[in-house]
């Protein structure tokens, strides 16, 4: 086929989806995983299982890493350090921007090239048209491998600093985890009243889909340092957050999340923002000691 050989290290749900996509696209694929039998189905489809991470890396100019975190990356790469010279590692393992910078530095010290990636879709989105991922690191090797990465995950290049892809990924995750926990909380509360997740779905979807309008409305005001109470007031927000807390407490479901929310609102009141918009909580978050 003439397609570029690719190595994939890490065969969790994400790595497996990537290998299937690459094989379907006609790439020769070499794989390695700590637990080798996770490669069985992929080998049956045409992937080659390397006996070590080092041999896997030596098999292709381009290696994709899909591991739990950078501690796992270190554990896998240290014994393979001698194989890294001249190789391009696309590291799609998530971690903090600081850890990704340190990892990229270490790979460069071994003579390898490190590109950081942060994938924004679940395994089912890999290889699909709507897939998106942040990338950062040296531009030239990124551009050289962009066509392959475009097919695999989609590409949104954020710059040379290896930490940038991780930063943008984390910006999404801080919202993803808290939003999803809000959803689980709503389902627990609904369940206490005999409602199912399916019952709640239309209203839940409408609520979260409508969030975009709030984000656009507040973005300009926040960047201008405007937290005027012309549209909403924190004092109203506190009352509402406490209604949420008490509704959950009355239902006998877990209150850790609504209690944390009410606590943040109250701290905004204590800091003197009662008559300001609840967007003033951003200032509290920027400097928690203030």
Residues 8-27, one symbol each (x = binds ligand NDP by CB under 6 A, - = not), give --xxxxxx------------
Burial 87-111 (b: 16+ CB within 10 A, else e): bbbbbbbbbebebbbbbbebbeebe
Q: Please answer whether residues 91 and 115 qualify as being in contact, where contact means their C-beta atoms are separated by less than 8 angstroms.
A: yes
- Does 154 contact ligand NDP by CB under 6 A? no
- Does 152 contact ligand NDP by CB under 6 A? no
Q: Which of 3, 24, 26, 34 binds ligand NDP (CB under 6 A)?
A: 34
Q: Which of 38, 139, 221, 267 binds ligand NDP (CB under 6 A)?
A: 38
Say if strands 88-91 and 29-32 run parallel, antiparallel, or are unpaired.
unpaired
- Does 173 contact ligand NDP by CB under 6 A? no
Of the two residues 57 and 72, which places its CB atom closer to ligand NDP in the complex?
A: 72
Smallest gap, in angstroms, from Cβ of residue 38 to ligand NDP? 5
- Does 128 contact ligand NDP by CB under 6 A? no
Dist CA 206 CA 24 (whole Å): 37
Of the two residues 71 and 270, which places its CB atom closer to ligand NDP in the complex?
A: 71
- Does 119 contact ligand NDP by CB under 6 A? yes
- Does 93 contact ligand NDP by CB under 6 A? yes
- Does 75 contact ligand NDP by CB under 6 A? yes
Residue 62: what are its φ and ψ, rounded to 5°?
-110, 125
The token duo for 121 is 């879709």
- DSSP assigned state of 129: T
Q: Which of 29, 39, 49, 76 binds ligand NDP (CB under 6 A)?
A: 76
Of the two residues 183 and 221, which places its CB atom closer to ligand NDP in the complex?
A: 183
Of the two residues 33 and 280, which places its CB atom closer to ligand NDP in the complex?
A: 33
DSSP states of 168-236: HHHHHHHHHHHHHHHHHHHHHHHHHTT--HHHHHHHHHHHHHTHHHHHHHHHHHHHTT---TTS--HHH
Of the two residues 133 and 190, which places its CB atom closer to ligand NDP in the complex?
A: 133
DSSP states of 139-176: HHHHHHHHHHHHHHH--EE--S-THHHHHHHHHHHHHH
Minimal CB distance residue for ligand NDP: 12
Applying CB under 6 A, which residues contact ligand NDP?
10-15, 33-35, 38, 66-68, 72, 75-76, 92-94, 119, 122-123
């Amino acid at each position: 086929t003439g397609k570029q050989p690719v190595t994939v290290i890490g065969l969790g749900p994400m790595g497996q989806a990537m290998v299937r996509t690459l094989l379907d696209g006609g790439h020769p694929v070499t794989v390695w995983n700590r637990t080798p039998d996770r490669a069985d189905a992929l080998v049956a489809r045409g992937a080659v299982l390397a006996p070590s991470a080092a041999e896997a890396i030596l098999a292709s100019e381009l290696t994709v890493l899909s591991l739990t975190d950078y501690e796992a990356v270190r554990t896998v790469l240290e014994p393979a350090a001698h194989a890294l010279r001249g190789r391009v590692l696309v590291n799609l393992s998530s971690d903090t921007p600081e850890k990704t910078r340190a990892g990229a530095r270490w790979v460069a010290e071994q003579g390898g090239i490190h590109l950081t990636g942060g994938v924004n879709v679940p395994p089912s989105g890999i290889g699909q048209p709507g897939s998106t991922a942040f990338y950062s690191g040296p531009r030239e090797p990124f551009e050289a491998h962009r066509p392959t990465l475009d097919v695999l995950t989609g590409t949104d290049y954020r710059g040379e600093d290896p930490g940038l892809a991780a930063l943008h990924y984390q910006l999404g995750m801080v919202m993803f985890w808290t939003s999803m926990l809000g959803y689980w909380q709503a389902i627990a509360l609904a369940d206490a009243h005999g409602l199912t997740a399916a019952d709640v779905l239309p209203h839940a979807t409408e609520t979260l889909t409508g969030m975009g309008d709030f984000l656009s409305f507040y973005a300009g005001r926040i960047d201008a340092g405007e937290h005027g109470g012309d549209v909403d007031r924190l004092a109203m927000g506190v009352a509402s957050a406490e209604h949420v807390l008490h509704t959950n407490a009355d239902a006998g479901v877990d209150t850790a999340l609504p209690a944390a929310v009410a606590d943040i609102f109250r701290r905004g009141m204590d800091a003197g923002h009662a008559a300001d918009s609840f967007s003033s909580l951003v200032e509290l978050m920027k400097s928690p000691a203030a």
